[in-house]
Chains A and B, each alone.
Chain A
């Protein structure tokens, strides 16, 4: 009886004391992003103010534009017309407080107030987030770094804000790798999701193709002709240390990391019957294992997020189609049945959908399909060729390459094909975008 009372008391204590504290960490979830027909959350974004030191309209402009682009990409927010609160009605006042009615009057349910202090090449940015409905300050953040990294500070803020509003961290600290022929031959670059901070990764002066990120965002695996035949290399994006992953006889192409990050699936034609089949190999090049067989072309493997299945392209029927198999090569089933040419599958990080490229009326378009084969949907239409789709880490956006305006460019769009938006790139003909997982910018 005594033990019963003690355990009952402990349970009561647990419920009333421990649980509410656990709930405080992620914050209240304001937006259920998967709810049907949700409306966009109206937000006010007054101009950033100088907190002492120099006033820089350039900083103010860049901070605002980065914030607006990120809010647009998030797809959940509607920015209340800045004309209604320009000039900033609270400039000269404290950044960490606000008059909630000022913002309620223009229809905003939240307001982001930002300030900066620049000295030389150093920059400090302070941002406060207020809930104008419940009249409370949600939090304030301070970011320090170099002036050149202003946009990354805003991305950090946005990721934190997405966590606050949706319970899931944002994707603004992630990167997109891509291929461009700007320097004559195809090379690999990567950039932030807003197109800034483009960085050249390869200088091989031969053809470099098919970049794919490691899950932790530290490495890119790619295919290069720098040793005459197409071989696969893995390169660290911070210190450029590189190793050969697969240099077998024949071709070594279309590499992709497993979700665990330790093995790489790719296509090789090394076997006696010389057909390109799918293999896995460890990152250091050992433990080679063949997954598919047969006198067909099997390329472009893509793992499911739980690592248990792999989607791939195969022409074992008539013409290339998308197939799914177990990660040990067993249980192959065909996924796509519409159209005669379907390639480039990429499995959503959410696990439920696969995006791919299909030929349609003489062009190539991006399609999305459920993993069970239902709801096949074409996302692009009729302008140029649309190829190489890749998912954002939260599975809500797709990046792809398109030739709709003449040269190859990189775009992003939502899972239903809406809001197709160009990402500024470094120039040349761009292709093969690959979206990394979430990264923490330093």
Chain B
């Protein structure tokens, strides 16, 4: 009887250990998402601010960046999904005014990239307007290639930099 119990105890301890490790790794993975913010998964942070990123429940919270292909301002299906989640946030925070920044990677002409960033911001805005968000709540600006997120000179950095980013200008 005691021998059986010991074996079960080992199993139980093993399961508890695995669960603890799993729990920790999932919550650490959650921490690395979002833009330098600590994601605590509920979408709500200190003082009720909304922290963008993917929560533990897999849903998107707050206003998230969308990315683009090189030299394109068209919205990929993934970008459209993110914009739909952004629209949800905007409906839930119905007085907030946001600015959509269009950005490019460092390759190519400075002037062309300022124009492309402008197209990217407007592309995102037009989609949100089509989802029913009032255009007066959506300002746009372009920074071209001037303000990269990642200063690297490789495809991984460039892919991050080709983005539309949302900032809240008034609540």
Within 8 A of A (CB), among B76-113: 107-112
B71 within 8 A of A: yes
CB pair A320–B110 under 8 Å, yes or no, is no
CB pair A320–B114 under 8 Å, yes or no, is no
B40 within 8 A of A: no
A344 within 8 A of B: yes
A111 within 8 A of B: no
CB pair B107–A210 under 8 Å, yes or no, is no
CB distance from B75 to the nearest CB of A (A): 15
Give the residues in chain A near B112, CB-CB below 8 Å: 297, 299-300, 313, 320, 343-344
Give the residues in chain B near A276, CB-CB below 8 Å: 115, 118-119
Name B119's contact: one of A207, A225, A275, A388 (CB within 8 Å).
Answer: A275
CB distance from B102 to the nearest CB of A (A): 9
A357 within 8 A of B: yes
Known contacts A207-B146, A250-B118, A297-B119; A228/B108 CB under 8 A: no
Give the residues in chain B near A364, CB-CB below 8 Å: 107-108
Contact with B along A359-396 (1 / 0, CB 8 A): 10000100000000000000000000101100000000
B142 within 8 A of A: yes
B138 within 8 A of A: no
CB pair A228–B141 under 8 Å, yes or no, is yes
> A44–B42 Cα gap in the complex (Å)?
80
Give the residues in chain B near A225, CB-CB below 8 Å: 143, 146
Nearest B residue to A277 via CB reads B115
Nearest B residue to A269 via CB reads B118
> A359–B112 Cα gap in the complex (Å)?
13
A139 within 8 A of B: no
Contact with B along A225-251 (1 / 0, CB 8 A): 100111000000000000000000011
Nearest A residue to B140 via CB reads A250
CB pair A300–B109 under 8 Å, yes or no, is yes
CB pair A267–B109 under 8 Å, yes or no, is no
> A282–B142 Cα gap in the complex (Å)?
24
User: Which of A210, A230, A315, A344 has the largest count of B CB atoms less than 10 A from its CB?
Assistant: A230
Give the residues in chain A near B111, CB-CB below 8 Å: 209-210, 253-254, 267, 299-300, 313, 343-344
Known contacts A186-B146, A207-B146, A274-B122; A230/B109 CB under 8 A: no
Within 8 A of A (CB), among B115-142: 115-116, 118-119, 122, 140-142
CB distance from B97 to the nearest CB of A (A): 14
User: Which of B114, B119, B122, B142 has the largest count of A CB atoms less than 10 A from its CB?
Assistant: B114
A432 within 8 A of B: yes
CB pair A251–B114 under 8 Å, yes or no, is yes
A330 within 8 A of B: no
CB pair B114–A230 under 8 Å, yes or no, is yes
Contact with B along A173-203 (1 / 0, CB 8 A): 0000000000000100000000000000000
Chain A contact patch, size range = 35 or more
Nearest B residue to A318 via CB reads B71
CB pair A267–B71 under 8 Å, yes or no, is no
A431 within 8 A of B: yes
Give the residues in chain A near B122, CB-CB below 8 Å: 269, 274
Give the residues in chain A near B146, CB-CB below 8 Å: 186, 207, 209, 225
> A269–B109 Cα gap in the complex (Å)?
18
Nearest A residue to B106 via CB reads A385
CB distance from A251 to the nearest CB of B (A): 5
Known contacts A186-B146, A274-B122, A341-B71; A297/B116 CB under 8 A: yes
User: Which of B109, B118, B146 has the largest count of A CB atoms less than 10 A from its CB?
Assistant: B109
> A357–B140 Cα gap in the complex (Å)?
28
Name A313's contact: one of B109, B119, B141 (CB within 8 Å).
Answer: B109
CB distance from A410 to the nearest CB of B (A): 15
Known contacts A276-B119, A341-B71; A210/B110 CB under 8 A: yes
Known contacts A251-B115, A267-B115, A276-B119; A230/B142 CB under 8 A: yes
CB distance from B72 to the nearest CB of A (A): 10
A82 within 8 A of B: no
> A305–B119 Cα gap in the complex (Å)?
31
Give the residues in chain A near B141, CB-CB below 8 Å: 228-229
A339 within 8 A of B: no
A319 within 8 A of B: yes
Name A343's contact: one of B108, B118, B143 (CB within 8 Å).
Answer: B108
Give the residues in chain A near B142, CB-CB below 8 Å: 230, 251
> A299–B114 Cα gap in the complex (Å)?
9
Give the residues in chain A near B115, CB-CB below 8 Å: 251, 253, 267, 269, 276, 297, 299
CB distance from B158 to the nearest CB of A (A): 12
Give the residues in chain A near B109, CB-CB below 8 Å: 299-300, 313, 320, 343-344, 357, 387-388
Which 9 pairs from chain A and chain B are nearest by CB? A254-B111, A276-B115, A343-B109, A297-B115, A299-B111, A251-B118, A253-B114, A299-B115, A300-B111
Given contact pairs A269-B118, A274-B122, A315-B71, a sample of 10 additional A-B residue pairs in the complex whose CB atoms are under 8 Å apart: A210-B110, A225-B146, A253-B114, A254-B114, A299-B112, A341-B71, A344-B111, A364-B108, A388-B109, A431-B110
| Contact surface of A with B, Cβ cutoff 8 Å | 186, 207, 209-210, 223, 225, 228-230, 250-251, 253-254, 267, 269, 274-276, 297, 299-300, 313, 315, 319-320, 341, 343-344, 357, 359, 364, 385, 387-388, 431-432
| Contact surface of B with A, Cβ cutoff 8 Å | 71, 107-112, 114-116, 118-119, 122, 140-143, 146
A sample of 19 cross-chain residue pairs with beta-carbon separation below 8 angstroms, ordered by A number, consists of A186-B146, A210-B110, A210-B111, A250-B118, A251-B114, A251-B115, A297-B115, A297-B119, A299-B109, A299-B112, A299-B114, A300-B109, A300-B112, A313-B109, A313-B111, A313-B112, A320-B109, A344-B112, A364-B107
